[in-house]
Amino acid sequence: QARGHFSSRVRRRGVAMCADLPAGGRMSSPAEKVSEAVKVAAGLPDVPEYRRADEDADAFEALRTALVAAKKDNSALSGLETQSMVRSMELIARRASQKKMLKGRAKECLGIVLASDAWLRAAQTCTNLMAALEVLAADSPPLLERL
């Protein structure tokens, strides 16, 4: 029951679940997964406050899954709007600060996106985001160096 509830929430926001695969069974490419997850993260500011915690949790898991899939294919992180990349990194930083047990996963996501120069440039457009990312990366010299 809980899984059905989760997948219907995620499906409503446009992220495809396994049950939503095309009839041919073709899996989404890493670029498609990242694009969909970033779209969801970009739409989070429009979510009413009373639903924000659940939506953040679902969006973070979808984004993390997409980023891990894209780790081996750096081109999957390109071609996205700057504002969408900023919103995605804000989600990563927010989840790490709200849920301490997710800090490791958030740092993993940050390491993946910061491997892309486009994502780094997007982060540098927002001073509040940079400050939040520096707090997240405080105990990770490689991440701090990249920032």
User: In angstroms, rounded to a whole number, what is the distance separating the alpha carbons of residues 41 and 39?
Assistant: 5
Which pLDDT belongs to residue 52?
Answer: 87
- Taking Cα atoms as reference points, which of 53, 47, 43 lies closest to residue 14? 43
Give the pLDDT band (50/70/90) at residue 1. very low
**The overall pTM is greater than 0.85:** no
> What pLDDT sits at residue 64?
93
pLDDT at 28 over 90: no
The token pair at 27 is: 């899996």
Question: 26-40, 94-108, 132-146 — which one is most confidently predicted on average?
Answer: 94-108
